[in-house]
Structure 1
Amino acid sequence: MQSDKYAVIGKQWSGVAKPMIIKKEKLSESGQILDEAALCLFNFISDFSEIPLSESEKEHINLNLKVKTLRRGDYLLQEGDICRYHWFVVKGAIRMLSINVSCREYVLAFRTENNWVTESESLSQQSPSRYYIEAMERTQVLQLNANCMETLRNDIPAWAEMLQKHEYEQAIVTQRRINSVINMTAEERYRDMLISYPYYEQRFSQHMLAAYLGIQPETLCRIRKN
């Protein structure tokens, strides 16, 4: 008799279904990880939407999610790739950056817990990306492909409201970022970053912060001393 500790899953091999034995503990552990990560996303949705999620809607969302765990330096996207996904950061930190012909890095954005990240231009136009999306520490994300994102937007009112409000907030963040680059001095950009994102100094190195501010690390060091 098959032990209760094991599950049998049909596996195709040369046209004949053969049983593949997988420990049930492994299956339930994987499901638990997804459930815990999805709970973070559900809480995020409730923060952005006044419409409650039903249990069937949560299940609908869960079926479209995939958990990915990244080590420091792992990429979700590299220059030249075509972006096909949205990622929700459950734990950890990510940066979106470009590297010019002189190998100098420019960080467009950092994303920490409870944030979405994607490469919008590549995703919408299905064109090669000009950017990298890289984990800056051990990071867990929920991955969702673009078609599923739109399906959930159409099927679940709370999801649609969350996306609308989040996209609006991100548009404001982008506008402020552009304004800081155009109109602020290096020191003003640094002070503005400390006000808007005080935790950046604890999460990211001087080199990364300098790349985000568009200055040399030595310049940032002098600003910090003043």
Structure 2
Amino acid sequence: MQLYYRSLKKMAHQGSIIDHDWNRFVEQTRVRHVQQGTYLIETGEPVEHAYFCSEGLFRLFYTLADGREYNVGFSPEDDYVTSYGAMVQGKPSTFTIEAMEDSVVIEIPHHVLKELMDTSHMWERFVRKSVERLYIRKEERERELLYLSARERYDAFLLKYPGLDKRVAQYHIASYIGVSPVSLSRLLRSDLH
């Protein structure tokens, strides 16, 4: 079990979390194995946990009324994944999070996160920095969709998620950068000439 907490502990100690606070965290969270294709959070569900991905990969996506899916992000190893807005507001999630590979997460109940933040300035700082990273990622994504060409959005995807193009089906990447799979295939073929 400690293997799964290792990368999170390394990140946490960069934020100066002392052993006593770390031990409280480990006691109140659990390691969860998630099979490929399993939904960690579904649209319309209440969100009571945040997750830290120790192994594997998740995608975050919206589903339109006609059934089309739009990927808005990916969470690989050493990344957080949740519907943060829904969790803190006590509202249902507006998007779904699916395991794209067999994965392992640390499941963190929201009430535990709140308690740690209320009692430890170090945990409060650590969570704040994590949320800041999520917010920056969201802002970057909005800017990319508004200002960049399809080619530039694809290049931004490669920079943001190194190696993910080898782990994710091309149609998922197309959905993420806001083009059809055919358009992405055409764009990538033009690079070969």
Q: Identify whether the pair has TM-score above 0.5, normalized to the shorter chain.
A: yes
Q: Is the 8 A contact 2:50 2:84 kept in 1?
A: no
- Superimposed CA distance per residue, residues 134-188 of structure 1 (whole angstroms, 9 cap, x where no aligned partner): 1000100011111110111222333222222222222111111000111112111
* Structure 2 residue 36 is the aligned partner of structure 1 residue 69: no
Matched to 1:213, the amino acid is I
Q: Which has the higher contact order (CA 8 A, sep 6+)?
A: 2
Which residue number corresponds to residue 53 of structure 1? 18
Question: CA offsets per residue over residues 7-56 of structure 1, 9 Å max, x none?
Answer: xxxxxxxxxxxxxxxxxxxxxxxxxx2x2222222112124x1x2522x2
- Paired position in structure 2 for 1:131: 95
In the other structure, the counterpart of 1:22 is none
- Deviation digits for residues 58-80 of structure 1 (CA, Å, limit 9, x no counterpart): 22111111111011101111111
TM alignment of 1:22-171, pairs within 5 A = 33=1, 35-47=2-14, 49=15, 51-54=16-19, 56-171=20-135
Cα root mean square deviation, aligned: 1.4
Which residue in 2 is equivalent to 1:210?
A: 174
Identity level (%): 24
TM superposition score normalised by structure 2 = 0.92
1:125 Cα deviation from its structure 2 partner: 2.4
Letter in structure 2 aligned against 1:212: Y
Structure having the higher Rg: 1
In 2, the alpha carbon distance for the partners of 1:202 and 1:46 equals: 31
Per the alignment, residue 183 of structure 1 pairs with 147
Amino acid at match of 2:3: E
* Cα deviation 1:80-117 (Å, max 9, x = unaligned): 11111100101000111111122111011100111111
SS in 2 for 1:175: helix
TM-score (ref. length: structure 1): 0.79
Q: Which runs of structure 1 show a deviation greater than 3 angstroms over 4 or more consecutive aligned residues?
A: none
In the alignment, the residues of structure 2 paired with residue 84 and residue 143 of structure 1 have an alpha-carbon distance, to the nearest angstrom, of: 10
The number of residue pairs the alignment matches comes to 190
